[in-house]
Amino acid sequence: MIKIINYLFVTCFGIGSFRFAPGTVTSLVTTIFLYSLFHIINLSSNIILLILFLVFIFSFYAVSEYIKYNENKDPKEIVVDEFIGQSIPIYLYEISHGASKNSQEAILFYLYIFILFRFFDIKKPFPINFFDKKFKNSFGVIFDDVIAGFYVVLTLIIFMIIKSKFL
């Protein structure tokens, strides 16, 4: 029973078992899920942060247990790391906008965030590739996506600075 629960957790309820682009599908589902929490359900950002934090902490154990007897230390069916990485820029976007939430603008930014995250997660520029190659454990599996999420944040900040200065 515990193995089944762990499998469902690391594969985001089986999305990781999809034959085509499980990481991209997970990122898309995460984007829709977080949009729903923030803009449809209007859940408190503190509760969402607690959920994301618990997923983050538990994922180290769950991924470690999943890959313990697996030769491949970063199997493609593990997609909880995409959930975590995609959540970082979305959460930071939402809390930076506080109570003044424009759903139309949010959809556009969510789309930018989704595209940028997939770009960084697939291309793996330094130091993402370092963590991906150097650490063959749950830390490496998760942390390369965390860095990709922060690359998205950095890219959006640079874009907003350029936009405010020149446009």
Chain segment 117-140, per-residue pLDDT in tens? 999 999 988 888 887 778 777 888
Would you list the domain boundaries of the chain?
2-166
- What pLDDT, on the 0 to 100 scale, is given for residue 60? 94
34 exposure class (CB count in 10 Å sphere: 0-12, 13-18, 19+): buried
- What pLDDT, on the 0 to 100 scale, is given for residue 100? 64
Q: Look over the chain and give the mean of its residue pLDDT values, rounded to a whole number.
A: 90
- What are the pLDDT digits (tens) for 22-70? 999 999 999 999 999 999 999 999 999 999 999 999 999 999 998 887 7
More confident residue, 61 or 167: 61
Which phi and psi (to 5°) does residue 102 adopt? -105, 115
- What pLDDT, on the 0 to 100 scale, is given for residue 70? 76
Rounded alpha-carbon distances, angstroms, from residue 132 to 37, 100, 127: 30, 37, 9
Q: Does residue 160 carry a pLDDT above 90?
A: no
- What pLDDT, on the 0 to 100 scale, is given for residue 105? 84
pTM across the whole model: 0.90
Which pair of structure tokens corresponds to residue 149?
């999420």
Which phi and psi (to 5°) does residue 21 adopt? 50, 55
